[in-house]
């Protein structure tokens, strides 16, 4: 049995951008968050949010594509969608995140370092306290 790798989500996003023109996307704002890519890609606001996320991931050099080898453990990914709201309940913006489904990864084999786009305030305080204690 031969297994073929799936196309990465980036390729699907780019392919859908060329296949689906902006004029065929739904322009009104959706009231709920989609669960799957095919539902989100129908809306212009979600499509723009996904494109923005791809640009940010590339500019941060979060990951790099490598040639596929049959001995590799291919890690799939998933889009997570969230509507960010203001205090008064109005929609501030639409947020899309591309997350790796890394529960199949093993450190040292599938990855060597991790990346987190946020930092906890407790971590900052700890670093400052160590720096102050060591002059």
Question: How many structural domains comprise the chain?
Answer: 1
- Print pLDDT tens along the chain (135 aa): 455 555 554 444 544 444 445 557 777 667 788 888 888 888 889 999 999 999 998 898 877 778 888 877 788 889 999 999 888 988 888 999 998 887 777 777 777 777 667 788 898 999 999 999 997
Distance of alpha carbon 122 from the chain centroid: 25
Range of the domain at 35: 9-133
What is the H or E stretch that residue 59 is in?
Answer: helix 44-59
Q: For position 16, what pLDDT does the model report?
A: 46
In a domain, residue 81? The reply is yes
Identify the pLDDT of residue 116. Answer: 67
> For position 41, what pLDDT does the model report?
86
CB atoms under 10 Å from CB of 96, counted, come to 23
Assess if residue 42 is contained within a domain.
yes
Centroid of chain to Cα 79: 6
At 29 the pLDDT is 67
Spatial separation of the C-alpha atoms in residues 77 and 113, rounded to whole Å: 18
pLDDT of residue 5: 54
Length of the chain counted residue by residue: 135
- Tell me whether residue 61 is in a domain: yes
Q: What DSSP assignment string belongs to 65-121?
A: -----TTS-PPPEEEEEEEEE-TTS-EEEEEEEEEE-GGG--BTTTBS----S---H
Q: 4 lies in a domain? A: no
Is position 3 within any domain? no
Q: What is the pTM of this model?
A: 0.59
Distant-in-sequence, close-in-space partners of 88: CB < 8 Å, separation ≥ 6? none
| 2 belongs to a structural domain | no
Q: Identify whether 1 is part of a domain.
A: no
């Amino acid at each position: 049995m031969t297994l073929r790798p799936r196309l990465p989500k980036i390729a699907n996003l780019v392919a859908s951008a060329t296949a689906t023109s902006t004029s065929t996307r739904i322009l009104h704002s959706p009231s709920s968050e989609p669960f799957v890519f095919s539902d989100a890609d129908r809306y212009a606001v979600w499509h723009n949010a996904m494109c923005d996320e791809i640009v940010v991931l590339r500019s941060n050099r979060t990951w790099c594509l490598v040639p596929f080898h049959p001995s590799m453990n291919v890690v799939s990914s998933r889009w997570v969608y969230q509507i960010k709201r203001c205090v008064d309940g109005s929609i501030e913006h639409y947020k899309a995140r591309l997350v790796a489904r890394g529960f199949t990864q093993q450190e040292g084999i599938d990855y060597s370092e991790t990346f987190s786009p946020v930092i906890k305030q407790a971590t900052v305080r700890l670093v400052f306290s160590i720096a102050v204690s060591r002059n």
